[in-house]
Structure 1
Amino acid sequence: MTIQIKNLFRLKSNTNFDGENSEAINSKVGENDESRKRTYHETGFRDGSRNIGSQYALKICLNAIYAKFQNEEKEFIEKQKHIKEPYFVEQKNKETEVKALTVSKENKEEQITQLDVKIRDIKDQIETLKFEMNDLVRDPEKYYINAKKGASTKFWIGLFILIPISLYLFTFYVSTSYSAFFKVFDLDSNIMMNVLDPKAYEKAWSDGALEGAFVTLIPFVFIGLGYLIHMFSENKNISSYIKIGILFLTTFIFDAILAYQIEEKIYELNKTFDSKPFDLPIAFTKIQFWGIIFAGFVVYIIWGLVFDFIMKENKEKDKIKHEQQLRKKDIQIHQERISDLEENKNSIMKDLNSIKELIAKAYGRITELQRIIDAVIIPTKEYVLYASEYLQGWITFIHEKLFVAKTEKENLVRECIEAYNIHCESVGATHDTQNSIYLSAV
C-alpha cells in the first residue's frame, strides 16, 4: 500500500489524562497488546523465512509493516480522539486568545484614529493662529484689539525724526551750557562763535573733568524732563496737567538762564562807561536772548511732542506685538501637544503591531493544530515495540531455520539490526519521540 506523506511533526507526548474514557481506552489497548505482539513476531518469522533473512528484504518489509501499523491506528477512532484531546484544548484556547487580541486591536485602532483627529484639529488651530499673526497688523479691530492701523509705520517715521532732533538738542545744550558757565568771551570772536562754540565739548574736557562732565550730562536733564512730561500725559487729570505745566516752566526758566548768562557776557564785553548795568529788562530787549531761548525751548517742545507721539505709537504697536507673541506662545504649546500626541501614537502603533503579530501567530498555530487534528497521530513508541517484535521474529528465523555458517549468521543479524535502526530513524520512531503526526497529501 502506497501512502503519500506531506509533512511530518515529531512531538513529545503530554497525554497523561485521567477519567473514565482514558481508563477504558488504556484497558482495551492493554488487552490487545499481547496479541498484537505475537502477531508481529509471527509475521516477522514468516516473512524472514520467505526472504531467507535478507536485510534488503527486511527494509521493504519494515516499510510495509509501518504502513500496516498506520492503517491499524486509523481504525482506533477513540484512541485518536484521546491522543488529539490536548490539541483540541489548545486550539480552543488559541481561538479565545484571538478574540481577546482582536478586541484589543480594535481598541488600539480606535485610539489611533482619535489621536489623528486631535492632531489634525491642533494643526488647523496652528494654521489659524499663523494667519491671525499676519492679519493683526492689517486689521487689529477684527480681533477686538484697540490699536491703530499703521502704528508700526508711524512709529518708525517718528523715530527717524526724533533722532536728529535729539542730536541737535545734545549739541545745542553742550555748546550753550559751556558758553554760559565756563567760556571766556573775547572781542576777536564773532557773536555766534561766542554763543555756539563748535569745540565746546573738547574745550570743556580740556578745562577739567567737572566741566566736561557737566556739559556732557546736562542734555540728559532736558531729555529726562521730556520723558516725565510724557509719563504725566498718560494720566488725564488736573494734577498731571499742573505737573506738565511746571516742567515746561522749569525748562523755559533754565533756557532763559542760559540765554541771560550768555547775553550778559556779550554785553559786558561790549559795554562802555555810559552803559547801564546789565539786568533782566535789558536782556528782554536783546534779540539774541530770545533767539537762544527759542532755539532751545521751542525745539525742546517739538522734541517732546515727537517723543510723546512715538511712545504712543509704540504702545499701539506693542498691543499688536503682544497679541502676536501670545499667538506665538499658543503655537508653541500646540506644537508640544502634537509632539506628545505623536509620541503616544507611536507607542500605540508599536503595541498594535505587536498585537497583529500575536494574532498572526495565533492563527498560524490554530491552522497547524487543525492540520494535526485532521491528521493521523502515530504512537511511535508503540510502533517501536511492535516493530522490534517483528525484527525478533525475523532474527529468530535466522538463528533457528537458516542453515549457514555462524559467522555469516552474525553478519546477517548485524545487518538486519542496522536496517531496522535506519528504518526507525526514517519514520521518527526514536526513544525521544512519543508520537508522530502525518498529514496525508490531498
Structure 2
Amino acid sequence: MMGKLNQLFAVKKTPELKVSEETNSEENEVQLRVTYYKSGFNSCVNSMGSPMNFLASLQNVYQSFEEQCRKQKEEQENLKKPYEEEKIRSQNELKNTETAILLAQEKQENIDGKINDAKKEIADVKNNPGNYGIDISRRPKAQFFIGLILLLPITIYLFVFYISASYSAMFKVFDNDSLSAAIFDAQSLNNAMKASWLEGVLVITIPFVFLGLGYIIHMITKGKGFKNSARLVALFLVTFLFDALLAYQIEKKIYDFNKTIDSAPYNLKIALGEAEFWMIIFAGFVVYLIWGLVFDLTMKEYENIDKIKGFINAKQDELKRLIEDKTKISEKIDELIQKSSEIKGKIIELQSKIDGFILPIKKYLHYHTQYKEGWFQAISREIALPHDQKQELLEKCEQVANNHLQRLGLLDGDFQQLVYSKIS
C-alpha cells in the first residue's frame, strides 16, 4: 500500500500522490505508474527541468517509497515469509546438529572409558591373569625356562642316540660284541656320510621323526574325547614299535656275530629274553617319553606366557582402534560445532532481516523510470529551449538519474529485493 508521496522539491511543492490500497491489482498498478509519470512531468515543468531539482525529486521519491514500504505491514509479512520459513528450517537443522553433537560426545565418553579400562587391564593382567579368564600357573616364566634348560640336553641326547642306533640297525657291520658300541658309535655319522650322502641324510633325519611324533603327541593332548585318547595311544605304540625294531635289529646283529654252529636262529622270543634288547629300548623309548613330557610341560608354560602376551596384544590392538575411533569422533564433533556456529550465524542474520524491512526494488525501479520519463517528456515538450540546450539538459538529467541509482546500489543490480536488516 502506498500513501502520499512526500514533497518532491525543496522550493516548490507537487500535488500529493494518492495510491489505492489494492496495489496488487493490475489496474491500480497501471494507475500508480501514470501518477508517477504525471508527477515527474509536472515537477519538471515547475522547475524548468533543473538537474538539481531533479536530483532532489528523485531522492524524495525514493524516501517516500521507502517510508511507505515500512508502513505496509501485510506486504512486509509476505515479503519476509521466505526468510521466516528458512529460519524455521535452520532452527530445525540446528536442533538436529546439537543432538548429533551430544550423541557424539556421549560416544566419545564411552570410548574414553574403554580406553582407560584397556590400559588398566594391560597393566594388571601380568599380576592377576585369572581376573581376565586366563588360567595359568603363578610363575609361568620360571617353569618355562627350567623346562627349556632340561629340554635342550635331552634333545641332544636323542639326536646322538637315534643317529647311532639307526646307523647300527641299518648299515653297521659289527666286528665286536660290545653293547656300548652297538648303542653308541662315535663314528656313526662320519661312517654314514663316507658310505653315501643319502645314507648320511637318512641317519641325520631319523631323530626328527621321533621329535615330530613328540610334537604331534603334544598337540593331541590339547584335545579331549575318546578319539584323541585313541590317537595318543596309537602314537605311543608306533614310537615303541619303532624303538623295538631298532633294538631287535641291533640285538640280532650282535647275536649273529656271536652265534655258533649249534645256536638257534634269532627270533622274537630270544630278543625278549635278552637284557640288552630292553636296555636299547629303555635308552631310546623311555628317554623319548621323558623328552615328550618335558616338551609338553615347557610348551604349556610357554602357552601360558603366550596367553598373557596374546591378551596384551589383543588389548593393544583394541586400544589402537579405540584411539582411532576417538580421533574420528573428535573430528566429527569439531565439524558439527563449526556447522552449529554457522547455522546460529545464519539464524541471527535471518532474524535481523525479519526484524528489518524489505524494499521491493523492481517495483521502485518501475516508479523511478515512470517519474524520469515524465520529467524527460516535460523537457522535450514544455520547456522552451534550443534543441542543443535541451539535449544537454537531458544528458545532465540522465547523469543525475544514474548517479542517484548508483549511490543506492541499484544501477547494476539484478536482484528483486533490498533487505534492510535491523542492527542491534
> Which TM-score applies when normalising by structure 2?
0.67
Distance 1:426 1:413 in 2: 20
Residues paired across the two proteins, number: 390
Distance 2:212 2:413 in 1: 103
Deviations 1:39-65 (A, max 9, x none): 531431xxxxxxxxxxxxx7xx42234
Q: Name 1:174's counterpart in structure 2.
A: 163
Q: Name 1:406's counterpart in structure 2.
A: none
State which of 281, 287, 290 in structure 2 corresponds to 1:299.
287
Between stretches 137-146 and 77-86, larger displacement belongs to: 77-86
1:306 shift after superposition: 0.6
Between stretches 311-320 and 105-114, larger displacement belongs to: 311-320
Distance 1:301 1:309 in 2: 12
Pairs within 5 Å for 1:40-439: 40-44=44-48, 61-68=50-57, 70-71=59-60, 80=69, 88-186=77-175, 195-208=183-196, 211-212=199-200, 214-227=202-215, 230=218, 231=220, 250=241, 253-254=244-245, 256-257=247-248, 260-261=251-252, 264=255, 268=258, 283-284=274-275, 295-321=283-309, 323-324=311-312, 327=315, 330-331=318-319, 334=322, 338=326, 341=329, 352=340, 355=343, 358-359=346-347, 362-363=350-351, 365-366=353-354, 370=357, 372=359, 379-389=367-377, 391-392=379-380, 395-396=383-384, 398=385, 409-428=386-405
Residues 63 and 257 (structure 1 numbering): CA distance in 2 closer, same or farther, change over 3 Å?
same
Distance 1:93 1:191 in 2: 111
Residues 225 and 386 (structure 1 numbering): CA distance in 2 closer, same or farther, change over 3 Å?
closer
Secondary structure at the aligned position of 2:138 is classed as coil
Residues 149 and 251 (structure 1 numbering): CA distance in 2 closer, same or farther, change over 3 Å?
farther
- Consecutive unaligned residues of structure 1, counting only runs of 5 or more, are 4-15, 45-57, 399-408
1:111 shift after superposition: 0.3
Distance 1:114 1:438 in 2: 38
Between structure 1 and structure 2, the one with the greater Rg is: 1
Distance 1:195 1:335 in 2: 63
Confirm or deny that 1:37 pairs with 2:47: no
Secondary structure at the aligned position of 1:427 is classed as helix
Deviations 1:148-173 (A, max 9, x none): 23335533442343233212211211
Residues 245 and 296 (structure 1 numbering): CA distance in 2 closer, same or farther, change over 3 Å?
closer
Confirm or deny that 1:18 pairs with 2:18: no
> Which TM-score applies when normalising by structure 1?
0.65
Residues 411 and 205 (structure 1 numbering): CA distance in 2 closer, same or farther, change over 3 Å?
same
Distance 2:62 2:203 in 1: 122
Residues 412 and 25 (structure 1 numbering): CA distance in 2 closer, same or farther, change over 3 Å?
closer
Distance 1:436 1:219 in 2: 98
Secondary structure at the aligned position of 1:428 is classed as helix
Between stretches 309-318 and 111-120, larger displacement belongs to: 309-318
Distance 1:438 1:70 in 2: 19
- Consecutive unaligned residues of structure 2, counting only runs of 5 or more, are 1-6, 10-21
Distance 1:140 1:309 in 2: 19
Residues 30 and 209 (structure 1 numbering): CA distance in 2 closer, same or farther, change over 3 Å?
closer
